[in-house]
Chains A and B, each alone.
Chain A
Amino acid sequence: MNSAQKTDNRLSIEKSVPGRRGLKVKNPLRARASVPPGLKRKTAPRLPELSEFDVVRHFTRLSRLNISLDTHFYPLGSCTMKYNPRFNEEAAALTGFAGLHPLAHDSSAQGTLELLHDFSARLCELCGMDAITLQPAAGAHSEFTGLLVAKAYFEAKKENRSEIIVPDSAHGTNPATASMMGFSTVNIPSGADGRLNVEDLKRHLGPKTAVLMLTVPNTLGIFESNIEEICRAAHAVGALVYMDGANFNALIGLVKPGDLGVDLMHLNMHKTFSTPHGGGGPGAGAIAVKKHLTPHLPAPTVKKEGTAYASNFGDARSIGKVKAFFGNTAVLVKAYAYMLAHSAEELGDIARCSIINANYVRSRLMDIYPSYSKEYCMHECVLTPGPDMTAKGLKTLDVAKRLLDYGFHAPTVYFPLIVHESIMIEPTETESRETLDEFIAAMRAVRDEGLADPQTLKDAPHTMPVKRLDEVQAARQPNLRW
């Protein structure tokens, strides 16, 4: 037992044996390499020396220390951890896609350009928007791109607007992006029902307002029912409405954000469009815009000329490049493959079943984990530990850690910030009723257990590869490499 554990704990470098070889490179042209000695590195890099099998076993063992979507229910709110279809992976790995150089001539890239063109058109239709860029590498990167577009729009109109309005329920990246762009952020508190108060909003809107950033549905899983009025009020002062589309899974095939009055929005391929999260990346984003913003989209986009597709570098009104090359194309290929697997009606089923699942979990837990909102939720719900648990000193963190022992990844915890001790659950549409029932049973068991013996929860997890980790030591004496 001990020796096995010790083995599992070792770093690859600790398994290294001098002279042991994995991959060899034998290309005979090697002999022609001639680099002046003065420009050569002085010492060999300290990398592990392992056989191929050593490497495969090392990383396979490491993989088994993870809880993942494939192995466990993963109800991480706002992250949309839905099944990642294997077909998408296989499609993106096709040599024709994977082997294409980013500087390839358009004539070599017709397949990918056609795919991007068709995908763009379908996404625009789905969102009710007029144009789209697929260049952003992730959600936050999309926000950044979106605000650059907004900035260019106002500059073209010679309007100097400095403020971004963000409700307090927004994703933390919203204000961070705003400040990165040199905008000041105006925070608006949510009303008691979790929605933006329109009258309150109107008081904050003015000639300085550039953009209202709104997450729809918001991070409480609530739809801004007044959205039409909100957009009208923003437009009345000449501001733009940006929709954070992180929660688009609740709207896909059901509502077109463009109809709501939104001027620009982002999408996350790694959320709504099922591409894998890969332990924290890569993702891919998109910014969809209405006609008045189209000229400012980053370059390049794809245009169709006759039967051929070409990269379109736009004109001087474009904000330029937000990333080297075209974007995270392989992720877009996966998202497109997902799109092909759905008719318009089936896309709507995604939203419908994600909403049913979230409400099912909510309704079966809210007697002991009170729900922040008194009404039905959209695709996710925000719960909290009940007063009986709080009385025993039990925190959301304890519930989260104990759930790991029950074989579930924890929900998102302590977010949104406006709910004290929040537990944010997003089951997604790909989880079956049986899985949800098991999760519900686990949540209830954790609560019962915690009331009977709070320390069991405080010390959790008990069955993971490691117990609670010393973050203070990690930060005080940083050990960041071998």
Chain B
Amino acid sequence: MPKPEEVKYTKTHEWLQLGAEAIAGISDHAQHEMGDIVFVELPKVGQKLEKEKPCAVVESVKSAFDIYAPISGEVTAVNGAVTGEPALLNQSPLDAGWLFKMKPSDPAEAAALMDWAAYQEFVKQSAH
């Protein structure tokens, strides 16, 4: 399980663990704001993702949220467990609740993502 400070963040509250096969999910802050998550729709393996474009959907009781690709690349694996048990996103957003793995097409894109300190500051700022 990556620690919160070991991953990068987007302004739309996704996290990304860098690597040859990057892993993506939603931040703890995001799951908290969404409330009880009841449904997850994942991208397909092999699907090409474009940075900052919607690629998955997460639903709470009253609202639907688009999940955006943190960087561009190709989906290599998806977490089937969360489709069967969406509560995993609430319980363990950075571990059992990961959403998909991807092969980055341009790893340099990750430079634009926030680190943990910057993300915390961003969340604090957004609260105002």
Contacts and interface: CB of A to CB of B under 8 A. Distances in A.
- Chains A and B touch (C-beta atoms under 8 A apart): yes
Interface of A: 471-472, 475-476
Interface string B29-61: 000000010110000000000000000000101
A147 B75 CA distance: 42
A15 B33 CA distance: 43
B25 interface: no
B97 interface: no
A471 B60 CA distance: 10
B87 interface: yes
Contacts of A472: 36, 38, 61
Given A472-B36, A476-B87, 6 more contacts: A471-B61, A472-B61, A475-B39, A475-B61, A476-B36, A476-B39
Interface of B: 36, 38-39, 59, 61, 86-87
Contacts of B59: 475
A472 B61 CA distance: 6
13 contacts: A471-B61, A472-B36, A472-B38, A472-B61, A475-B38, A475-B39, A475-B59, A475-B61, A476-B36, A476-B38, A476-B39, A476-B86, A476-B87
Contacts of A476: 36, 38-39, 86-87
B31 to A, nearest CB: 14
A175 to B, nearest CB: 16
Nearest to B86: A476
B104 to A, nearest CB: 33
Nearest to A475: B38
A472 B38 CA distance: 7
A115 to B, nearest CB: 42
B36 to A, nearest CB: 4
Contacts of B61: 471-472, 475
A471 B59 CA distance: 13
B85 to A, nearest CB: 8
A476 B88 CA distance: 12
Max chain A CB contacts within 10 Å: which of B59, B61, B86? B61
Nearest to B38: A475
A285 B80 CA distance: 46
Contacts of B86: 476
Max chain A CB contacts within 10 Å: which of B38, B59, B87? B38
Contacts of A475: 38-39, 59, 61
B30 to A, nearest CB: 17
A4 to B, nearest CB: 32
A471 B61 CA distance: 7
A421 to B, nearest CB: 16
Contacts of A471: 61
Contacts of B38: 472, 475-476
B46 to A, nearest CB: 28
A476 B36 CA distance: 9
B59 to A, nearest CB: 7
A476 B61 CA distance: 9
Contacts of B36: 472, 476
Nearest to B85: A476
A471 to B, nearest CB: 5
A410 B39 CA distance: 30
A329 to B, nearest CB: 36
A472 B59 CA distance: 11
Nearest to A473: B38
A176 to B, nearest CB: 14
B72 to A, nearest CB: 28
B74 to A, nearest CB: 30
A476 B87 CA distance: 9
A124 B5 CA distance: 66
A475 B86 CA distance: 10
Nearest to A476: B38
A475 B36 CA distance: 10
A471 B63 CA distance: 13
B81 to A, nearest CB: 14
A471 B36 CA distance: 10
A442 B74 CA distance: 60
A475 B59 CA distance: 9
Nearest to B39: A475
B102 to A, nearest CB: 27
Contacts of B87: 476
A265 B86 CA distance: 44
A290 B101 CA distance: 58
A476 B85 CA distance: 8
A271 to B, nearest CB: 25
